[in-house]
């Protein structure tokens, strides 16, 4: 096997298609070489070596050393320099590169190959001793912390290297690192070495080859550091993938005013606007830009500072988009006026940008409609639906600062200054704004927990901006006029001092920061689509959203229905494009107004007459509910489910006072109610007397509900609106349960028909069942002999298949995710390997006895993109989800076809 791949001088062993083997960075470095862009030569150690390393107690394949040596010789040849040489030394960078980029999560070492002799050679050769010593101190700083583990210790607030640098600057009376003289830097280097020796007990290795392997080890080890694991968990990246390691000739942005370094996006990754977007620093190395320590300048300024390179970059921007056919996120360095490309990858973007860019690129004929659909992560459509600030409320709010709008959206929350404090507050249910001078990968958990992120330093490609964008978090970064005092825990801006726990609001569309909480209002998409507001309909966001939904509708095979319980919800869902109701939970209506009294009366009655009397009171309420729903649906099908939850859910939580009041209304003793509550109490209600088990024991409840549904249907139809009732029996395990319930429903229908003098074809309805108990799936052939439709209740099916409580598992599921027992919460994204088999079996067996069986799903998974794709593959007819998830489900259903 080939463990090491070379690239450089316009040639490459690998290419852009080999991301699995070479990692994203390695594959694209090879590809950029192939298309003739200026890339410093280098080698890529494959991801397979990473896997080997972990499978073999951190040992490498026997040939690795020789392969590295052979490829370093090639790098030397292309670059005309030699590694470890005392005349014209080659320095190297060592960087991680997994299949999918994990920004800042793993380790990087730059300027490798320097020691006490090489630094002198470098000074001599370049005639720039200041640069040589600056490179040396940078190398020591990175190697010392990353490879030798000398970093800030517990309780140490400041990075020990920065402490030394600060001392050097104050001794020299200068402000910034690049103003330090050669002599200052020599002092810093000596101090760094001492620091490393004191803290690690070891000398820093002078041998370049030893430095190289130390760095390669460190990068492979960083695949399993804590923050990389957290990141993988959040983005579902498997641990088996491993990372590649890229070893590349250094080019230097820190040699003086003709040099520099920068990062850019070929389009704006926050809004998607087609403008070149990025920033750079003169006389600096790459880490300076991303670290957010010095504030970089916007890329447009480069036309003045380095006009030739700027022109070349604009050209490269075009070449890259034409070649990769997607927005590229690039890193570049200019050494003495010569431009070098260090990286390109598909740019991470917000949901807004994803939609804008994909649709623009179709217009520009760069990609097809299908590609555009595949490009937009379905989940990210939710960014477009998230609330924005109410315009009037924002006008009145106290502005305390402004920064770069790095993550669009509106967020209000309480200020916390550390990731830990943010996580703690969020766990208590607070909305949090993580407020930092700058963020680092260490802050990831805090960023996940926060509603919004504010930084006072760093630019649009700082860590905070990058990560926030990807997570879809609201983010304002580089709010320079604001000041954070970590010790006093205060944030100051425009003379206003805010303390930890105070409220702050961020407008991530424009970058404004306000004291206090601001009322929000619906997004432009919601205003246009649901509220029918003319101004919103003119917005680009709305227009593009509507266009995208049209494309998705044309492609998808799955119908999209909604889980809705009220006419209002149904109307909203229909505006989102719902093709019917997949689930109405009738019990939700039982809590409206004072009808709960009648529900309780029905439950508490201990005689048939008592029950019948209470049910009679409920019937008109239910009929009214269903009338509203049928009207709102305008002829679309309505799956209405019979009563499902255990009865004591309606009575078990009553206070003594409520019990006394009810006793008064019903004319019974309070003690009677207490005894009925006791009698109905269950130890394990979720597996107790619920679902169709209620209807089997109390068929009169089923009869009342079926009558209400069909009476409503008759009434609405009489007034000229079509109706399509589908009555659904919950929690069936045995075919016989279903048959018994269907008999009750059919009998109720016969009565309704007779009462209104209707023939069979004048009142049509179907009867089907929820599939949410494993036994029903395993015996679906028998169930389907009488059932006219199935709807998978994947909430209960997950609960019963895994024996995992849907109500209690959130306390320990995070630990399961942490331990990688599960990749995702099975109640959010379907467990396709386990629960999925029950779905597949249910579909196959059901259709084996009933070819025309209509099959859908109405659990929470109906709005989860990966689950929707699974349901498409499994041959379902529709998925049903809550109204606001419909766009996500539509897009996922379209993607499933491609
Ligand atoms: C289900 O179990 O998936 C379902 C849709 O029903 P409920 O959530 O009401 O139990
Ligand atoms: Mg259920």
- The structure tokens listed for 23 are 């990692």
Residue identifier of the C-alpha nearest atom 10 of ligand 1: 796
Give the span between the Cα atoms of 698 and 696, in whole angstroms: 6
Q: Are 542 and 496 in contact (CB under 8 A)?
A: no
Check pLDDT > 90 for residue 157.
Answer: no
The residue among 349, 350, 351, 373 whose CA lies nearest residue 361 is 373
CB of 794 sitting under 6 A from ligand 1:
yes
Which ligand 1 atom is the nearest neighbour of the CA of 792?
3
Q: Are 769 and 791 in contact (CB under 8 A)?
A: yes
Q: What is the pLDDT of residue 545?
A: 97
CB of 841 sitting under 6 A from ligand 1:
no
CB of 583 sitting under 6 A from ligand 1:
yes
Give the span between the Cα atoms of 753 and 710, in whole angstroms: 9
CB of 169 sitting under 6 A from ligand 1:
no
Check pLDDT > 60 for residue 756.
Answer: yes
Q: Where are the extended beta strands (E) located within 730-881? A: 766-771, 789-792, 854-857, 878-881
Give the span between the Cα atoms of 564 and 207, in whole angstroms: 69
Find the 629 Cα to ligand 2 centroid distance in Å. 21
Find the 881 Cα to ligand 1 centroid distance in Å. 11
CB of 28 sitting under 6 A from ligand 1:
no
Give the span between the Cα atoms of 80 and 350, in whole angstroms: 42
Which ligand 1 atom is the nearest neighbour of the CA of 794?
3
Check pLDDT > 60 for residue 167.
Answer: yes
Give the span between the Cα atoms of 241 and 273, in whole angstroms: 34
pLDDT band at 780 (very low <50, low <70, confident <90, very high): very high
CB of 269 sitting under 6 A from ligand 1:
no
Q: Are 713 and 720 in contact (CB under 8 A)?
A: no
C-alpha 720, offset from chain centre: 45
Find the 829 Cα to ligand 1 centroid distance in Å. 14
pLDDT band at 528 (very low <50, low <70, confident <90, very high): very high
- Rounded mean pLDDT of 251-265? 93
Find the 428 Cα to ligand 2 centroid distance in Å. 29
Binding-site residue numbers are 585, 641, 772, 793-796
Q: What is the pLDDT of residue 429?
A: 94
Q: Are 385 and 407 in contact (CB under 8 A)?
A: no
Q: What is the pLDDT of residue 292?
A: 57
793, 801, 857: which to mutate for ligand 1, most atoms within 8 A of CB?
793
pLDDT-wise least confident of 100-104, 469-473, 586-590:
469-473
796, 798, 830: which to mutate for ligand 1, most atoms within 8 A of CB?
796
Which ligand 1 atom is the nearest neighbour of the CA of 585?
9
DSSP state of 145: I
Q: What is the pLDDT of residue 594?
A: 74
Alpha helices in 769-850 (DSSP H): 774-778, 780-783, 794-802, 813-818, 835-849
CB of 795 sitting under 6 A from ligand 1:
yes
Give the span between the Cα atoms of 292 and 463, in whole angstroms: 8
Ligand nearest to the CA of 794: 1
Contacts of 90 (CB under 8 A, 6+ apart): 75, 76, 79, 81, 82, 83, 84, 113, 249, 250
Find the 793 Cα to ligand 2 centroid distance in Å. 5
Give the span between the Cα atoms of 444 and 411, in whole angstroms: 18
Ligand nearest to the CA of 692: 2
pLDDT in tens, 104-124: 778 889 999 999 999 999 999
Find the 690 Cα to ligand 2 centroid distance in Å. 10
Find the 861 Cα to ligand 2 centroid distance in Å. 12
C-alpha 445, offset from chain centre: 13
The residue among 194, 203, 187 whose CA lies nearest residue 130 is 187
Give the span between the Cα atoms of 579 and 558, in whole angstroms: 10
Contacts of 213 (CB under 8 A, 6+ apart): none
Q: Where are the extended beta strands (E) located within 417-493? A: 432-436, 452-455, 474-477, 483-485, 490-493
The residue among 249, 253, 346 whose CA lies nearest residue 6 is 249
- Rounded mean pLDDT of 17-38? 97
CB of 859 sitting under 6 A from ligand 1:
yes
Q: Tell me whether residue 463 is one of the annotated catalytic residues.
A: yes
Q: Helix (H, G, I), strand (E, B), or coil: what is residue 407?
A: strand
pLDDT band at 461 (very low <50, low <70, confident <90, very high): low
Give the span between the Cα atoms of 438 and 456, in whole angstroms: 7
Ligand nearest to the CA of 641: 1
Find the 769 Cα to ligand 1 centroid distance in Å. 12
Find the 799 Cα to ligand 2 centroid distance in Å. 9
DSSP state of 723: -
Q: What is the pLDDT of residue 722?
A: 97
- Rounded mean pLDDT of 218-226? 92
pLDDT in tens, 597-648: 899 999 998 888 999 999 999 999 999 999 999 999 999 999 999 999 998 8
Q: Are 538 and 525 in contact (CB under 8 A)?
A: no
Ligand nearest to the CA of 732: 2
pLDDT band at 585 (very low <50, low <70, confident <90, very high): very high
DSSP state of 203: P
Binding-site residue numbers for Mg(2+) are 772, 796
- Rounded mean pLDDT of 738-748? 98
Task: Give the chain's domains with CATH numbers.
Answer: 4-249 (3.30.1490.20), 260-346 (3.30.470.20), 386-521 (3.50.30.10), 560-591+612-646+692-897 (3.20.20.60)
687, 773, 858, 867: which to mutate for ligand 1, most atoms within 8 A of CB?
858
DSSP state of 144: I
pLDDT in tens, 261-317: 999 999 999 889 999 999 999 998 877 766 656 778 999 999 999 999 999 999 999
- Rounded mean pLDDT of 812-832? 88
CB of 772 sitting under 6 A from ligand 1:
yes
- Rounded mean pLDDT of 134-151? 94
Residue identifier of the C-alpha nearest atom 9 of ligand 1: 585
Which ligand 1 atom is the nearest neighbour of the CA of 563?
5
Q: Are 3 and 28 in contact (CB under 8 A)?
A: no
589, 842, 859: which to mutate for ligand 1, most atoms within 8 A of CB?
859
Q: Is 435 exposed, middle or buried (0-12, 13-18, 19+ CB in 10 A)?
A: buried
Please state, as a whole number, how many other Cβ atoms lie within 10 Å of the Cβ of residue 613: 14
* Catalytic site residue from 383, 463, 648, 872: 463
Residue identifier of the C-alpha nearest atom 3 of ligand 1: 793
Give the span between the Cα atoms of 520 and 545, in whole angstroms: 21
Which ligand 1 atom is the nearest neighbour of the CA of 583?
5
The mean of the pLDDT values for the chain is 93
Residue identifier of the C-alpha nearest atom 6 of ligand 1: 793
Residue that has been written with the tokens 């919103």 in this structure: 536
Bridge-based pairing of strands 89-90 and 82-83 is parallel
The residue among 311, 300, 303, 305 whose CA lies nearest residue 264 is 300
- The structure tokens listed for 279 are 């920033």
Q: Are 874 and 847 in contact (CB under 8 A)?
A: no
Residues less than 5 Å from ion ligand 2, measured at CB: 772, 793, 796
- 487, 794, 846, 857 from 797: Cα distances, Å: 51, 5, 16, 11
- The structure tokens listed for 46 are 């494959």
pLDDT-wise least confident of 217-231, 348-362, 737-751:
217-231
Find the 795 Cα to ligand 2 centroid distance in Å. 6
CB of 585 sitting under 6 A from ligand 1:
yes
Contacts of 652 (CB under 8 A, 6+ apart): 677, 680, 681
Contacts of 846 (CB under 8 A, 6+ apart): 780, 781, 783, 784, 787, 790, 853, 855
CB of 793 sitting under 6 A from ligand 1:
yes
Which ligand 1 atom is the nearest neighbour of the CA of 730?
6
Q: Maximum distance among all alpha carbons in the chain?
A: 105
Residue identifier of the C-alpha nearest atom 1 of ligand 1: 793
Give the span between the Cα atoms of 808 and 684, in whole angstroms: 12
Percent of the chain topping pLDDT 90: 80
Q: Helix (H, G, I), strand (E, B), or coil: what is residue 401?
A: strand
The residue among 438, 583, 418, 411 whose CA lies nearest residue 505 is 411
Give the H or E element holding residue 583. Answer: strand 581-585
CB of 858 sitting under 6 A from ligand 1:
yes
Q: What is the pLDDT of residue 593?
A: 67
pLDDT band at 470 (very low <50, low <70, confident <90, very high): low
Find the 635 Cα to ligand 2 centroid distance in Å. 26
Give the span between the Cα atoms of 164 and 195, in whole angstroms: 9
Which ligand 1 atom is the nearest neighbour of the CA of 772?
2
- Give the angle subtended at the CA of 99 by the CAs of 96 and 104, to the nearest 5°: 40
Give the span between the Cα atoms of 326 and 334, in whole angstroms: 24
CB of 796 sitting under 6 A from ligand 1:
yes
Which ligand 1 atom is the nearest neighbour of the CA of 795?
3
| Number of residues that this document lists for the chain | 898
Q: Tell me whether residue 648 is one of the annotated catalytic residues.
A: no
Ligand nearest to the CA of 857: 1
CB of 644 sitting under 6 A from ligand 1:
yes
Q: What is the pLDDT of residue 289?
A: 67
pLDDT-wise least confident of 42-51, 786-795, 812-821:
812-821
The residue among 522, 507, 515 whose CA lies nearest residue 406 is 507
* Catalytic site residue from 858, 861, 872, 881: 858
Give the span between the Cα atoms of 179 and 640, in whole angstroms: 74
pLDDT in tens, 363-404: 999 999 999 999 999 999 988 998 889 878 999 999 999 988
Find the 685 Cα to ligand 1 centroid distance in Å. 14
Binding-site residue numbers for substrate are 585, 641, 772, 793-796
795, 835, 867, 876: which to mutate for ligand 1, most atoms within 8 A of CB?
795
Residue identifier of the C-alpha nearest atom 8 of ligand 1: 795
The residue among 846, 824, 728 whose CA lies nearest residue 780 is 846
pTM (predicted TM-score): 0.83
């Amino acid at each position: 096997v080939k463990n090491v791949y070379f690239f450089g001088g316009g040639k490459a062993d690998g290419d852009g298609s080999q991301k699995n083997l070479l990692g994203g960075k390695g594959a694209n470095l090879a590809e950029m070489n192939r298309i003739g862009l200026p890339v410093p030569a280098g080698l890529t150690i494959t991801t397979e070596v990473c896997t080997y390393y972990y499978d073999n107690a951190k040992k490498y394949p026997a040939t690795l050393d020789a392969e590295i040596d052979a490829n370093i010789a090639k790098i030397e040849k292309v670059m005309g320099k030699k590694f470890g040489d005392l005349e014209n030394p080659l320095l190297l960078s060592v960087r991680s590169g997994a299949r999918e980029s994990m920004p800042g999560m793993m380790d990087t070492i730059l300027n490798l190959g320097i020691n006490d002799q090489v630094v002198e050679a470098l000074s001599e050769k370049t005639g720039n001793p200041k640069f040589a010593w600056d490179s040396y101190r940078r190398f020591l700083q990175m190697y010392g912390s990353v490879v030798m583990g000398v970093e800030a210790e517990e309780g140490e607030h400041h990075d020990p290297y920065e402490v030394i640098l600060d001392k050097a600057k104050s001794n020299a009376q200068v402000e910034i690192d690049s103003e330090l003289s050669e002599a200052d830097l020599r002092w810093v280097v000596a101090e760094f070495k001492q620091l490393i020796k004191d803290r690690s007990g070891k000398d820093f290795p002078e041998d370049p080859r030893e430095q190289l392997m130390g760095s390669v080890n460190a990068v492979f080890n960083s695949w399993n550091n804590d923050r990389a694991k957290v990141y993988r968990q959040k983005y579902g990246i498997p641990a088996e993938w491993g990372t590649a390691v890229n070893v590349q000739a250094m080019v230097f942005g820190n040699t003086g005013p003709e040099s520099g370094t920068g990062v850019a996006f070929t389009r704006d990754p926050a809004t998607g606007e087609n403008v070149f977007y990025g920033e750079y620093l003169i006389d600096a190395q790459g880490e300076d830009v991303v670290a957010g320590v010095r504030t970089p300048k916007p890329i447009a300024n480069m036309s003045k500072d380095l006009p030739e390179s700027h022109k070349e970059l604009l050209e490269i921007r075009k070449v890259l988009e034409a070649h990769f056919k997607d927005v590229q996120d690039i890193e570049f360095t200019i050494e003495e006026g010569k431009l070098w490309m260090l990286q390109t990858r598909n740019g991470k973007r917000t949901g807004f940008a994803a939609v804008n860019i994909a649709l623009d690129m179709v217009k520009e004929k760069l990609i097809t409609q299908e590609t555009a659909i595949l490009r937009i992560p379905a989940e990210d459509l939710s960014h477009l639906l998230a609330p924005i600030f109410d315009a009037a409320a924002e006008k009145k709010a106290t502005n305390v600062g402004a920064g770069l709008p790095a993550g669009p959206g509106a967020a209000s929350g309480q200020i916390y200054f550390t990731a830990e404090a943010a996580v703690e507050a969020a766990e208590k249910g607070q909305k949090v704004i993580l407020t930092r001078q700058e963020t680092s990968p260490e802050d990831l958990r805090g960023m996940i927990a926060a509603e919004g992120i504010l930084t006072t330093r760093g630019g649009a490609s700082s860590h905070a901006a990058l990560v926030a964008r990807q997570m879809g978090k609201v983010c304002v970064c580089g709010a320079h006029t604001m000041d954070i005092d970590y010790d006093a825990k205060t944030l100051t801006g425009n003379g206003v001092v805010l303390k930890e726990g105070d409220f702050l609001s961020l407008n991530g569309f424009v970058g404004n920061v306000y004291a206090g909480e601001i009322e929000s209002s619906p997004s432009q998409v919601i205003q246009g689509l649901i509220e029918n507001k003319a101004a919103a309909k003119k917005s680009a966001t709305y227009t593009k959203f509507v266009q995208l939904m049209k494309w998705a509708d044309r492609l998808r095979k799955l119908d999209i229905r909604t889980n809705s319980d009220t006419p209002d919800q149904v109307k909203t869902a229909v505006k989102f494009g719902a093709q019917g109701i997949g689930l109405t939970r009738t019990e939700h209506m039982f809590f409206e107004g004072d009808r709960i009294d009648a529900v309780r009366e029905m439950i508490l009655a201990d005689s048939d007459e008592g029950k019948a009397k209470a049910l009679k009171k409920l019937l008109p309420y239910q009929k009214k509910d269903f009338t509203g729903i049928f009207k709102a649906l305008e002829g679309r099908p309505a799956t209405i489910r019979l009563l499902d939850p255990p009865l004591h859910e309606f009575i078990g939580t009553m206070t003594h006072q409520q019990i006394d009041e009810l006793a008064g209304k019903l004319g019974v003793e309070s003690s009677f109610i207490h005894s009925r509550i006791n009698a109905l109490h269950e130890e394990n209600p979720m597996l107790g007397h619920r679902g169709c088990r209620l209807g089997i024991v109390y068929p009169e409840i089923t009869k009342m509900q079926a009558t209400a549904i069909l009476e409503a249907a008759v009434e609405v139809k009489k007034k000229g609106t079509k109706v399509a009732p589908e009555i659904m029996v919950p929690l069936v395990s045995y075919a016989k349960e279903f048959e018994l319930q269907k008999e009750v429903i059919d009998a109720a229908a016969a009565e309704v028909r007779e009462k209104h003098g209707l023939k069979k074809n004048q009142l049509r309805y179907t009867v089907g069942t929820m599939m949410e108990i494993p036994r029903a799936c395993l015996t679906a052939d028998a169930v389907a002999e009488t059932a006219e439709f199935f709807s998978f209740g994947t909430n209960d099916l997950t609960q019963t298949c895994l024996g995992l409580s849907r109500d209690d598992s959130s306390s320990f599921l995070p630990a399961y995710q942490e331990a990688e027992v599960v990749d995702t919460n099975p109640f959010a994204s379907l467990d396709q390997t386990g629960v999925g088999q029950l779905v597949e079996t249910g579909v196959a067996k059901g259709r084996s006895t009933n070819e025309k069986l209509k099959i859908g799903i109405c659990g929470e998974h109906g709005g989860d993109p990966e689950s929707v794709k699974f349901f498409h593959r499994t041959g379902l007819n529709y998925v049903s989800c809550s109204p606001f998830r419909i766009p996500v489900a539509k897009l996922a259903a379209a993607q499933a076809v491609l």
